[in-house]
Amino acid sequence: MVKEYFLVLDCGATSVRAVAISPQGEILAMAAFQNAPKYQEGSVHYLVWDLEEIWGKLCQATQKVIASAGREIRAVSVTTFGADGAPVRTDGSLTYPVISWQCSRTEQWARRIVELVNAREIFRITGYQVIPFNTLLKLLWLRENAPEALDEARYFLMMPGLFNFKLTGEMTMDYPSASTTMMMDIRSRQWSERLLSLAGLTPDFFPRMVKSGEIIGTVTKIASEETGIPAGTPVTSAGHDTQFALVGSLAKDDELILSSGTWEIAALRIPYYRDSEVAFTTGMLVELDAEEGFWNPQMLMIAGGVVEWVRRHFFADLKDASDIYERIVEEAASVDPGADGVLFIPAFMPSGPLKPYSTKGTILGLGLTTGRAHVARAAFEGLAFQLRQAVEALSEAFAFRPQRVVVVGGGSRNVLWNRLRADVLNLPVVVTSCEEATVLGAALFAMVGTGYAKDLKEAKRNITHTTRVFEPSPERAIYDELYERYVKVPLCLEAYYRA
């Protein structure tokens, strides 16, 4: 048993976890349960999150971690995905379920909103592209289809706020999550009254803002009984998982960070904000960094979700194998660069560098000798090409020339993928021994918020970690040629998909 640790509750799209992490960054205990959205009652199309079910799983996971690591918890923090939340009454009860970012109900509003405010102006104000899962679009849908849900509510809470309320009884909004709503003025860090007014809302529809690491409150007696966390334990603000992964990557100022999971986010941490035409036209987002005074220009791309699609449709016979991903990588590695002419366009969601072309996921170059290994290889190569497009756009828009790329998240454990990234980017790719970057980032701020460290720099200095570097190989020249072919394909497909 250790004397003291930080507890992070991490709710992802596919799993919910409780993680105990030491002040040195060591994972002491972890427990996880599967997570997935559900069809809303009475519908076979609308997807929502079952908040009570997720909370129950978090409670179970927390109890398991405490049984292993002990009850000497210095602080608790919550991280989860952005964009999703729910309107709540003063007692915290929901007036409408949490609409999932995977739900299609807002697609029509993604087309309609630009008739009210053009997309370029939305980006100038919020740093956000118009993507169907944007929070504002959900509120517009509610105003049109379930107005009573907004009228009966006192506040709108994002997912971290919903769980923090269950822990403390306090209603709050963290800055990183607020910047994912497409309703915040990204430059001033204030709510945009112009955009809120589209849904008939005002800034007081949202609770008090809290900074990363700020103590929200303490664990209540009821929450203690449910989770096993001692009553009175401080709960510090974290929020949108992406920003905390960026901090937890421990990247240096001249390094680009790639958070690779279901979604892949290529991001910078820069101490200034500026509007950029290049950023807008190439599909970037800009969010508030977890650290005040910093911003995160980023390219949001589907990545691990594409790998999952390949797994489901081409490797279904291995679905019960414990080493299924290792075997997929092994088969992909058996194919030469270029996958014998198979080209994979990973545009499975309307985001990232392919968004301006309205391109959808596409596989080209299939033949009678094409096998699943070729498709898997082409998928990893296509994801690496997509990343290069994102890095080039970020470099042009913000005059940032990365010297290395630090990869965190589940995708960082894929050796073949890392080697492809290094070759395609012609940059060293760095993977740290701190595999749980999001958890570490949340813990770093909790250390500062509870006085364990005087500032973020000191908290980072306490972390013990090692790195592995993937250098570009001689195959880099092959990938330069393949990339030049790849970038021409979306232009050829644009007219087809727009029609």
Neighbours of 209 (CB within 10 A): 16
Share of the chain above pLDDT 70, in %: 100
Nearest alpha-carbon partner for 66 in 212, 230, 197: 230
Please report which confidence band the pLDDT of residue 435 belongs to, taking 50, 70 and 90 as the band edges: confident
DSSP 8-state class, residue 342:
-
- Tokens, residue 79: 């991280």
Pairing verdict, β 73-80 and 5-11: parallel
Classify strands 85-88 and 172-174 as parallel, antiparallel or unpaired.
Answer: unpaired
Q: What is the mean pLDDT of the chain?
A: 95
Measure the CA–CA gap between 219 and 139, rounded to whole angstroms.
30
Please, which pLDDT band fits residue 444 given cuts at 50, 70 and 90?
A: very high
- Quick one: DSSP state of residue 403? S
Q: What pLDDT score was predicted for residue 2?
A: 53
pLDDT of 91 above 50: yes
pLDDT of residue 1: 46
d(CA 271, CA 223): 38
DSSP annotation of 186 reads T
Phi, psi of 66 (to 5 degrees): -65, -35
Among 70-84, 214-228, 345-359, 411-425, the least confident range: 345-359
Strand order in the sheet with 295-302: 285-288, 295-302, 263-267, 255-260, 404-408, 429-432, 467-470
* Strand-pair category, 255-260 with 404-408: parallel
Contacts of 4 (CB under 8 A, 6+ apart): 23, 72, 73, 74
Scored b (16 or more CB within 10 A) or e, 375-392 reads bbbbbbbbbbbbbbbbbe
Residue-wise pLDDT for 169-208, tens only, equals 999 999 999 999 999 999 999 999 999 999 999 999 999 9
User: Contact, 162 vs 88, CB < 8 A?
Assistant: yes
Q: Which residues sit opposite 406 in a β-bridge? A: 257, 430
pLDDT digits (tens, 9 = 90+) for 254-291: 999 999 888 899 999 999 998 999 999 988 999 999 99
Average pLDDT score over residue span 224-228: 98
From the CB of residue 366, how many other CB atoms can be counted at a distance below 10 Å? 13
